[in-house]
Copies of this chain bind each other. A is one copy, B any other.
């Protein structure tokens, strides 16, 4: 039934493994979104950097309450307020300092009493402060409403591992640690080359038998969304020389060459013909759609030959290439994978991984969108999930759990 998808992913991984060894580049945080960290990131400081207040309240020394019992309170002299950002003076015995959320706990304090539990339940104004204001507070446990230094991140901890994808939270963390730049794996540069004598030039009227190329737009957009640099070229003929020339040209500035079309069993398979003497193998995968595939190197650059039908080409990206890049390079992120119940029954060819387009419903079930046909681009555009029916499955009833990848 053809090469298994798992085996083929291993072949792609072996082909692309050298890409993980490229020299890291340093990027300012604002230009690192979606890239993968090149090295483990150890925290240069703790977060929080110092003990600070979790609430607007009064900083106190819990020992000042003496022996605590249910309902015990004590009157304190109100010290100088501590706004966030200030370096506070040490707290005297019997003092309580108004302290704002995030402000540094003064030396001598070990707890915070929220302002709404004080009597009176507010901060004294300037006049009251200058007039030796007092406040009555309920007893506090040591550490209450205090965010301890290092309670989120301890200095020296590896907070992000090499290969971690830098999304908003990871970049925010780097900024909180005082970093302004990070070492990242350089984004891949992929050349996408659509092939086929049937491709009309965009903007020109269709002649009989012609279609507009959608694979270039589809794949380049998918790669861009995944944080990969990509550029589309079309070879609108079945002329092997024309394709070889374009491949040679693209190989000069790309880390990966991806063609679409010309890898099947027909009589005019341009990609197969063009690469007959290259270090490229053409295989048939046990996958529907996306069975015919090419893999190898062209002019020393890794090469993948995707099939020409738009859904096959896109499934090849999602199910074959993307998971390998996620595992090997850390970016793009792998798709979230779940097991969810089918809203509809499903037939699947024996011995092949069937990949169907689907929508996640409000009821948590997945509905198939369109049929299995690899030309159903309209249905693809209406889907937000993939359903993967494994090789040994030939039919599933509505309600059966199935593997779902969310797009």
Contact = CB atoms under 8 A, between A and B. Distances in A.
A199 B102 CA distance: 11
A56 B267 contact: yes
Given A100-B266, A268-B100, A336-B406, A225 B168 contact: yes
Given A176-B310, A178-B212, A211-B176, A198 B336 contact: no
Interface in A179-199: 180, 196-199
Q: How many copies of the polypeptide does the oligomer hold?
A: 2
A223 B283 CA distance: 42
Contacts of A33: 221, 224-225
B56 A266 contact: yes
B264 A172 contact: no
Contacts of A203: 178, 180
B170 A381 contact: yes
A47 B221 contact: no
Given A176-B214, A178-B202, A406-B406, A375 B267 contact: no
A338 interface: yes
Contacts of A300: none
Contacts of A199: 85
A118 interface: no
Contacts of A30: 217, 220-221
A153 interface: yes
Nearest to A81: B267
B197 A86 contact: yes
A157 B378 CA distance: 10
B152 A379 contact: yes
A386 to B, nearest CB: 11
Interface in A360-390: 360, 364, 370, 373, 375-381, 383-384
Given A100-B268, A176-B214, A225 B34 contact: yes
Contact of A196 (B50, B85, B175, B217): B85
A175 B217 contact: yes
A160 interface: yes
> Which of the listed residues A170, A268, A370, A379 has the most CB atoms from chain B within 10 Å of its own CB?
A268
A86 B172 contact: no
Contacts of A360: 336, 338
B217 A56 contact: no
A308 interface: yes
Contacts of A288: none
A90 to B, nearest CB: 12
A180 B152 contact: no
Nearest to A213: B175
Given A30-B221, A168-B222, A176-B310, 10 more contacts: A47-B378, A56-B264, A84-B268, A152-B373, A167-B225, A173-B214, A173-B380, A176-B212, A178-B202, A178-B212
17 contacts: A29-B217, A30-B217, A33-B225, A48-B375, A50-B209, A56-B267, A83-B266, A84-B266, A153-B378, A157-B378, A167-B221, A167-B225, A169-B314, A171-B221, A172-B217, A178-B203, A338-B338
Interface of A: 29-30, 33-34, 45, 47-50, 54, 56, 81, 83-88, 98, 100-104, 115, 123, 147, 151-153, 157, 159-160, 167-178, 180, 196-200, 202-203, 206-222, 224-225, 238, 264-268, 308-310, 314, 336, 338-340, 360, 364, 370, 373, 375-381, 383-384, 406-407
**Top 9 A-B residue pairs of the complex, sorted by shortest distance between their CB atoms:** A172-B218, A85-B198, A85-B197, A176-B214, A175-B217, A168-B221, A87-B208, A168-B222, A100-B266
